Amino acid sequence: MLRKLGLDARIGPVPGEYCPGDWMVNGAGRVKLAGTAQRIVAGAWLFGFELVVSDSDPLRAVLTDVNAALELEFDPGTAASLTDLNPAVTLEPVRAAILAEIGVVRELTADPDLLEEAANLRDAHVA
């Protein structure tokens, strides 16, 4: 999807990146464009993906401060937005490309009764 937007997107870590991982998306092998996070527990899974489209300066500032506080090595030059690699990219085409790639996303609101039932059954499903 990112390649269709004119970006040199690849899978794999970048030396000095924040929260390193093998399954992140990098730009041209130099900067981190997106990271993935996953969690699997008995009966459930979560997959998350963050992607910064523009204005990477605040991202770099926060990551610099957080990594310093955690005493972790971090190269601020590895944190980037899509516009750092292709200034013509804007939010709406990125959103449209994501939806085209993964299908229509529907916002769901949880039924309060269902949430209560899930809470009541939680102990039965703890592994």
How confident is the model at residue 126, as a pLDDT? 63
Domain housing 111? 3-125
Tell me how many domains the chain contains: 1
CATH number of the domain to which 31 belongs: 3.30.930.10
Does residue 118 carry a pLDDT above 60?
A: yes
Confidence of residue 77 (pLDDT cuts 50, 70, 90): very high
How confident is the model at residue 99, as a pLDDT? 85
How confident is the model at residue 58, as a pLDDT? 94
Confidence of residue 106 (pLDDT cuts 50, 70, 90): low
How confident is the model at residue 42, as a pLDDT? 82
C-alpha 18/C-alpha 67 separation (Å) is: 8
Residue whose token pair is 């997107």: 9
Please give the helix or strand (H or E) that residue 32 lies within, else none. Answer: strand 31-41
Full DSSP string of 39-65: EEETTEEEEEEEE--S--HHHHHHHHH
Does residue 104 carry a pLDDT above 70?
A: no
